[in-house]
Amino acid sequence: MTPGWLAFHANPSQPRFRPPPGAVDAHCHVFGPGAQFPYAPERKYTPCDASRDQLFALRDRLGFSRNVIVQATCHGSDNRALVDALKHSAGKARGVATIKRSVTNAELAELHQAGVRATRFNFVKRLVDFTPKEELLEIAQRIAPLGWHVVVYFEAVDLPELREFFTALPTTVVVDHMGRPDVTKPVDGPEFELFVNMMREHPNIWSKVSCPERLSVSGPPARDGEQNAYRDVVPFARRIVETFPDRVLWGTDWPHPNLKNHMPDDGLLVDFIPHIATTPELQRKLLVDNPMRLYWPEETR
Ligand code: 0GY
């Protein structure tokens, strides 16, 4: 297990970019507090405590209206912190849980009632132990009738091996962080093309264009120049937003678990949005229409 953690940014700057009304932060987490909701024994890192109230305060500060809270590996399949946050969100948060094959129908119904609308399959080897694909497929078949979808997290080098599994899933599939492309490679090179092609051929596959701070090699912005923030990630995210404007989501990834060196300023992450979604229409789809359709469909009919 990785010892220690980096604390999230204590005083994020006020973004210059104003998200459209009703904007959704569609990838963020709550952690613990560990004394109340202990971290999973099998976790590979220990995060900083990050409470629901701190998340909701950040939401308001950044100009967002809603959250999609994603279960991270440090809480394993114990979704209590997530459910607690959903229940205290006044309907402004929905969730992505981690579930095991042994989950009962009653437990699924309880998660649904709390606001869970998806399950997450994590294939990032540094984060999780291996789960056989037939188990995951069985879970996907259990959650499909609830109208839930599957969120997948993996590294670009593993896509050739995982593609067949992803494209066989019976639900909408949302890919975290564009499948973690190597942004030192060309945006139209074979590795990213494999991902773009998968989305092109499978209209049920969506992508989060999130986490430039995890993908960037050029690094964070200088204090006075967010124009250059994570600039090497821009062509990748922009390509996905412009090619699939109705199947993209964006999130802060607060409180940025498991980052070893650099902790982003969440305000500057929001200022990254107009670089990747360059028109008000693309911004509205990315931040409002798409996440609402996926997580609050009853409000968009
Ligand atoms: C993220 C990214 C990471 C961690 C997790 O579930 C997790 O622990 O997703 C990571 O280390 O890249 O999206 O929060």
For residue 95, the SS3 value is strand
**What's the pLDDT band for 228 if we cut at 50, 70, 90?**
low
CA of 127 to the centre of ligand 1 (A): 8
| CA of 72, closest atom in ligand 1 | 6
Nearest atom within ligand 1 for CA of residue 44: 8
Distances in Å between the alpha carbon of 100 and those of 53, 79, 129, 132? 28, 11, 13, 12
pTM for the model? 0.96
Query: If you take atom 11 of ligand 1, which residue's CA is the nearest one?
Result: 258
Residue among 39, 70, 73 to mutate when testing ligand 1 (max atoms within 8 A of CB): 73
User: Could you identify the atom of ligand 1 that is nearest to the CA of residue 45?
Assistant: 8
CA atoms within 13 A on the CB side of 251: 26
Tell me the catalytic residues. 253
Q: Ligand 1 centre and the CA of 257: distance in Å?
A: 6
Split at pLDDT 50, 70, 90, the class of 261 is confident
Q: What is the model's pLDDT at position 157?
A: 97
Tens digits of residue pLDDT in 125-144: 999 999 999 999 999 999 99
- Is residue 1 pLDDT above 80, yes or no? no
Q: How far, in Å, is the centroid of ligand 1 from the Cα of 153? A: 8
Q: Which of 1, 46, 96, 124 to mutate to test the pocket of ligand 1 (most atoms within 8 A of CB)?
A: 124
pLDDT value of residue 225:
52
The stretch 191-200 carries a mean pLDDT of 98
- The tokens describing 29, both together, are 């987490």
User: Is residue 224's pLDDT more than 70?
Assistant: no
From 258, 238, 126, 151, select the one nearest 192 (Cα to Cα): 238
Sheet holding 205-208, edge to edge: 24-28, 66-70, 93-97, 116-122, 149-153, 173-175, 205-208, 248-249
Q: Output the residue whose Cα is nearest ligand 1's atom 10.
A: 258
Q: Which residues line ligand 1 (CB under 6 A)?
A: 72-74, 122, 127, 153, 176, 214, 253, 257-258
List, for residues 57-107, the tens digit of each pLDDT value.
999 999 999 999 999 999 999 999 999 999 999 999 999 999 999 999 999
| pLDDT over 80 at 250, yes or no | yes
Q: What is the mean pLDDT of the chain?
A: 95
pLDDT band at 223 (very low <50, low <70, confident <90, very high): low
User: 3-class SS at 174?
Assistant: strand
**pLDDT > 70? residue 198:** yes
Does position 219 have pLDDT exceeding 90, yes or no?
Answer: no
